[in-house]
Amino acid sequence: MSPANPGEDAGVSGFESQETEPDYEVEELELEVNQIALRIHHYRSTLSAQLKSSFFSLLESSRPLPIGASELGTSAARPDHEDDEQTTTRGEGAVHEEGLETAKKIQLLEDKISSNIILIPTVLKRMKDCISTIDNLASYNGVIHPAFKRKKTS
């Protein structure tokens, strides 16, 4: 701080300003890293549910519609439950509600089973097509790597 060396003060103040700039940049980078970490956490938590829902919708869209689906839906529909409401008011509320839930689950299971039964011919046709394709590949005379060949038993 002598008047003979005026550059000393400038160097010290310049050093302080250079030191605050990197600190500011480091804080900005840390803030960006935290934001990216939050986004990654959000993606990891929601991505599995999104993939699951899109996979199930893809499976449902690729599944062939049953021929008698409209007939099945109308015949499998349950009638109105006016008598059920009367029994819940009698005092058997909790037991009867459990019975209703069980009945709904049974009806849903019956609907799924009947829709699967309707689709059996379509699935069998697909299986036969796949088996014939595999048989055609088995009779293929091209070069097959030895790792994929079966060992002949004698």
Identify the pLDDT of residue 93: 66
* 138 CB-side CA count, 13 A: 7
Residue 151 lies in a domain: no
Query: How many distinct structural domains can be found in the chain?
Result: 2
10-residue averages of pLDDT along the chain (154 residues): 51 52 88 94 87 82 62 46 49 73 91 90 93 83 78 72
Residue 106 lies in a domain: yes
Identify the pLDDT of residue 11: 47
Identify the pLDDT of residue 107: 92
Residue 80 lies in a domain: no
Domain extent, residue 37, equals 8-63
Burial 58-71 (b: 16+ CB within 10 A, else e): eeeeeeeebeeeee
pTM, full prediction: 0.32
Identify the pLDDT of residue 33: 96
Task: Scan for tokens 């829902």, then name that residue.
Answer: 53
Identify the pLDDT of residue 40: 92
Residue 87 lies in a domain: no
Residue 86 lies in a domain: no
Residue 37 lies in a domain: yes
Backbone φ and ψ for 65, nearest 5 degrees, come out as: -75, 135
DSSP letter at 65 equals: P
Asked if residue 100 lies in contact with residue 84, where contact means CB atoms within 8 angstroms, the answer is yes
Number of H helices, E strands in the chain: 5, 0
Residue 77 lies in a domain: no
Asked if residue 66 lies in contact with residue 118, where contact means CB atoms within 8 angstroms, the answer is yes
Identify the pLDDT of residue 137: 80
Identify the pLDDT of residue 77: 44
Backbone φ and ψ for 45, nearest 5 degrees, come out as: -80, -30
Residue 84 lies in a domain: no
DSSP letter at 147 equals: G
